[in-house]
């Protein structure tokens, strides 16, 4: 028989009100403070969204408590958030005091006294939320189970102790608290530093403080008994099927529609999702792409929050659904450009389809928002092809050749898509110029990286297609091969297979250099090459002029590391012409 719970009414608190109206205690049986770099970074990113005006408020989660006989709220769930909040308030207070000492204490005649008073007020407000001063009860007491040492350290850290901030500490929870303090201190200082004047810095610090205490909010459930508190905690955190962002977004949209429009909205949603096989994962990825095209990139975890903050009434919800309905067919083509066959004819210009297929085989998706924005804004297929060509070139230079990470490209493409969507660019040339200036790697850096470029290859997947694509483009440019087009032969028909010219031990790591790779008709590839002489014989039978040249080189002598380097060097000039 399930336990009967005397359910309390949840209370909604802003951070400022939460600490001014309650005193919290972390019981000994709770785990110690465990937030690390990732959790602190998420905390900061949520606050940064408010500081930058991206959102108006942030739901910081729920806490479950039990009011003990001392009228303290024992925390059953939520101590990590409350501990971090206290540490962050200490950061604000300490920075305000440091700024006051530096700019006002010794130079009263030379500064604006009102600014100094504002700084002192920020510090006092933060300190009041922390509590624990003369005659005050601390707003949060952490575990006393370690001989009171953890609480003593936490008290020192949140009450201005330089030693607690900087000296080496012993236990893991103390290290976590100290790292959290140091990380948040650094992030606040990074925001203040660019401000032109001390007045601007004070205003910024005040805004950071105000956003946190006024616009971070929690829901607190204070149970009438400890048993009830645990039962509530277990219920809230019980296992079940996790809802994807798309599921929650649907509920949000339908809630805005009202009785008059909900049937129509549900039909549109069904039509959209049917084209994505009603897969919550695919629907969520589609909405993320749409959001990145119109606004900015957000993680799946933050997608619902971003949508619900922007889409707040029935008209906005209808526009949201209309946009998705108009873009879903394009999105399915981006996912799979040539299969089924109807996808291959979505664009009348086959060049677009070919380039999208290259991206697909290379397992690249970060360009989706740009194409979505172009399509939404009714750019011609001729212009779309120009932009897609530039994106391929940017990606190949940035990722394939220089091997930089994709974060800059993903955010850069999203920003460009946003400006396309909002009609900030005057035309396709302006879009391409923006990519060159913001994202394209220099020709010199590209040639230098290509001179030592190594690829593993493979029989299938992105590794195979990356190398096939590079070689096919190089052969077409350098040797005038593929008269009918490299895509039809190398990609569409898949007529060619990657081969290594030599796998001899003496060339060692150079076996995987680009200069040691070629593509050869599959009919000419044996199960295994015996030696370089056999490679030369098979290359001689190839229809590719590049392979004929290579065969003559192999027949004339041995294949060495210097030969590999020279071949790669010969290709280097072509690389910056192609991409």
Q: Is 287's pLDDT higher than 90?
A: yes
Lowest model confidence (mean pLDDT) among 148-152, 212-216, 527-531:
148-152
Task: Give the phi and the psi of residue 59 in degrees, each rounded to 5.
Answer: -80, 115
Report the alpha-carbon angle 23-25-27, nearest 5: 165
Other Cβ atoms within 10 Å of 205 Cβ, number: 22
Q: Is 505's pLDDT higher than 70?
A: yes
pLDDT band at 485 (very low <50, low <70, confident <90, very high): confident
Region 387-400: mean pLDDT is 98
Q: Is 242's pLDDT higher than 70?
A: no
Q: What is the number of residues in the chain?
A: 579
Q: The tokens 């990590």 sit on which residue? A: 80
pLDDT score recorded for residue 319: 97
Other Cβ atoms within 10 Å of 104 Cβ, number: 19
Q: Is 4's pLDDT higher than 70?
A: no
Q: Are 436 and 329 in contact (CB under 8 A)?
A: no
166 contact partners, CB below 8 Å, separation of at least 6:
none
What does the radius of gyration of the chain's CA atoms come to, in whole angstroms? 31
| Domain residue limits, the chain | 11-236, 245-447, 456-578
- What's the CA gap between 289 and 310, in Å, rounded? 16
pLDDT score recorded for residue 144: 62
Region 534-553: mean pLDDT is 94
User: Percentage helix, strand, coil, to 5, in the chain?
Assistant: 65, 5, 30
Helices (H), 295-349: 300-310, 314-335, 341-344
407 contact partners, CB below 8 Å, separation of at least 6:
none
Q: Are 354 and 491 in contact (CB under 8 A)?
A: yes
What's the start-to-end Cα distance of the chain, in Å? 69
Region 336-343: mean pLDDT is 96
- Look up residue 250 and give its two tokens: 């649907």
pLDDT in tens, 190-211: 999 999 999 999 999 999 999 9
- What's the CA gap between 405 and 396, in Å, rounded? 12
Q: Rounded to whole angstroms, what are the CA distances from 333 to 340, 347, 372?
A: 9, 9, 11
- What's the CA gap between 20 and 22, in Å, rounded? 6
**How do beta strands 24-25 and 73-77 pair?**
parallel
Closest by Cα among 179, 82, 171 to 129: 82
Q: Is 555's pLDDT higher than 80?
A: yes
Quote the distance between the C-alpha of residue 466 and its chain's center.
24
Where does residue 182 rank: exposed (0-12), middle (13-18), buried (19+ CB within 10 A)? middle
pLDDT in tens, 102-159: 888 765 545 566 788 899 999 999 999 999 877 788 999 997 654 458 899 999 999 9
b (16+ CB within 10 A) / e for 509-522: ebbbbbbbbbbbbe
Where does residue 8 rank: exposed (0-12), middle (13-18), buried (19+ CB within 10 A)? middle
3-state secondary structure of 498: strand
- What's the CA gap between 443 and 141, in Å, rounded? 59
pLDDT in tens, 165-196: 999 998 889 999 999 999 999 999 999 999 99
Q: Is 474's pLDDT higher than 70?
A: yes
Other Cβ atoms within 10 Å of 489 Cβ, number: 21
pLDDT score recorded for residue 31: 76
Closest by Cα among 269, 277, 374 to 317: 269
Helices (H), 55-108: 79-103
pLDDT score recorded for residue 3: 47
Strand ranges in 344-492 using DSSP code E only, listed in sequence order:
none
Region 533-548: mean pLDDT is 94
Region 489-513: mean pLDDT is 90
**How do beta strands 216-223 and 140-141 pair?**
unpaired
pTM of the model as a whole: 0.72
Strand ranges in 162-267 using DSSP code E only, listed in sequence order:
216-223
Question: Mean pLDDT of all residues in the chain?
Answer: 91
pLDDT score recorded for residue 290: 98
- What's the CA gap between 343 and 353, in Å, rounded? 9
Enumerate the β-bridge partners of residue 58: 216
pLDDT score recorded for residue 568: 94
- What's the CA gap between 334 and 413, in Å, rounded? 15
pLDDT in tens, 382-391: 999 999 999 9
Q: Is 493's pLDDT higher than 70?
A: yes
Closest by Cα among 381, 565, 361, 317 to 464: 361
**DSSP code, position 524:** G
Q: Is 322's pLDDT higher than 80?
A: yes
Region 481-499: mean pLDDT is 86
Q: Rounded to whole angstroms, what are the CA distances from 319 to 144, 168, 310?
A: 55, 55, 12
Other Cβ atoms within 10 Å of 145 Cβ, number: 15
pLDDT score recorded for residue 237: 66
Q: Rounded to whole angstroms, what are the CA distances from 198 to 106, 193, 201, 343, 350?
A: 15, 10, 5, 58, 58
- Look up residue 50 and give its two tokens: 């408010």
pLDDT score recorded for residue 111: 54
Residue 14's H or E segment, with its range, is strand 11-14
**How do beta strands 216-223 and 11-14 pair?**
antiparallel
Q: Are 453 and 401 in contact (CB under 8 A)?
A: yes
Q: The tokens 């930058």 sit on which residue? A: 52
Is 460 or 368 the better-scoring residue by pLDDT? 368
pLDDT in tens, 417-457: 999 999 999 999 999 999 999 999 999 999 999 999 999 88
pLDDT in tens, 37-86: 999 999 999 999 999 999 999 999 999 998 888 888 999 889 999 999 99
Q: Is 540's pLDDT higher than 90?
A: yes
């Amino acid at each position: 028989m399930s336990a009967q719970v005397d359910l309390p009414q949840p209370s909604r608190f802003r951070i400022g009100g939460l600490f001014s109206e309650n005193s919290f205690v972390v019981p000994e049986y709770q785990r110690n403070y465990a937030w690390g770099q990732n959790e602190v970074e998420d905390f900061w990113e949520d606050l940064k969204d408010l500081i930058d005006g991206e959102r108006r408020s942030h739901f910081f989660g729920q806490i479950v408590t039990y009011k003990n006989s001392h009228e303290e709220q024992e925390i059953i769930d939520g101590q990590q958030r409350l501990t971090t909040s206290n540490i962050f308030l200490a950061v604000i207070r300490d920075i305000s005091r440091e700024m006051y000492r530096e700019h006002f204490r010794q130079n009263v005649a030379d500064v604006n006294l009102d600014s100094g008073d504002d700084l002192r007020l920020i510090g006092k407000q933060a300190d009041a939320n922390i509590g624990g001063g003369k005659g005050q009860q601390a707003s949060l007491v952490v575990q006393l189970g370690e001989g009171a040492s953890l609480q003593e350290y936490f008290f020192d850290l949140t009450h201005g102790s330089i030693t607690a901030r900087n000296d080496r500490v012993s236990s893991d929870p103390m290290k976590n608290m100290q790292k959290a303090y140091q990380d948040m201190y650094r992030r606040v200082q990074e925001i203040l530093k660019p401000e032109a004047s001390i007045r601007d810095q004070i205003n910024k610090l005040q805004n950071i403080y105000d956003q946190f205490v006024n616009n971070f909010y929690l829901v607190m459930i204070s149970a009438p008994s400890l048993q009830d508190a645990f039962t509530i905690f277990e219920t809230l955190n019980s296992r079940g099927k996790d809802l994807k962002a798309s599921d929650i977004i649907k509920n949000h949209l339908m809630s805005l529609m009202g009785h008059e429009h909900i049937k129509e909205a549900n039909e549109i949603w069904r039509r959209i999702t049917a084209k994505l096989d009603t897969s919550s994962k695919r629907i969520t990825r589609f909405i993320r792409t749409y959001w990145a095209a119109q606004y900015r990139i957000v993680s799946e975890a933050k997608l619902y929050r971003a949508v619900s903050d922007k889409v707040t009434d029935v008209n906005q919800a209808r526009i949201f659904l209309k946009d998705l309905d108009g873009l879903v067919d394009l999105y399915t083509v981006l996912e799979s450009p040539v299969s089924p066959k109807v996808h291959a004819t979505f664009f009348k210009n086959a060049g677009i389809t070919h380039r999208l297929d290259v991206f697909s085989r290379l397992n690249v998706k970060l360009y989706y928002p740009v194409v979505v924005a172009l399509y939404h804004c009714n750019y011609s297929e001729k212009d779309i092809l120009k932009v897609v060509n530039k994106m391929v070139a940017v990606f190949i230079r940035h990722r394939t050749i220089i091997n930089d990470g994709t974060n800059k490209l993903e955010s850069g493409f999203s920003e460009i898509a946003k400006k396309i969507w909002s009609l900030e660019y005057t035309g396709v040339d302006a879009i391409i110029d923006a990519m060159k200036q913001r994202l394209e790697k220099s020709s010199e850096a590209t040639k230098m990286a290509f001179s030592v470029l190594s690829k593993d290859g493979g029989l299938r997947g992105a590794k195979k297609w990356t190398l096939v694509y590079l070689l096919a483009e190089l052969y077409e440019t350098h040797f005038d091969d593929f008269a009918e087009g490299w895509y039809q032969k190398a990609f569409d028909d898949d007529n060619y297979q990657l081969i290594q010219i030599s796998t001899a031990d003496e060339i060692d790591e150079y076996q995987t250099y680009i200069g040691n790779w070629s593509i050869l008709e599959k009919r000419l590839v044996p199960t295994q090459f015996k030696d370089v002489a056999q490679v030369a014989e098979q290359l001689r039978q190839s229809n590719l002029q590049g392979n004929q040249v290579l065969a003559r080189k192999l027949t004339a002598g041995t294949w060495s590391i210097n030969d590999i380097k020279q071949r790669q060097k010969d290709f280097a000039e072509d690389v910056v012409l192609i991409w």
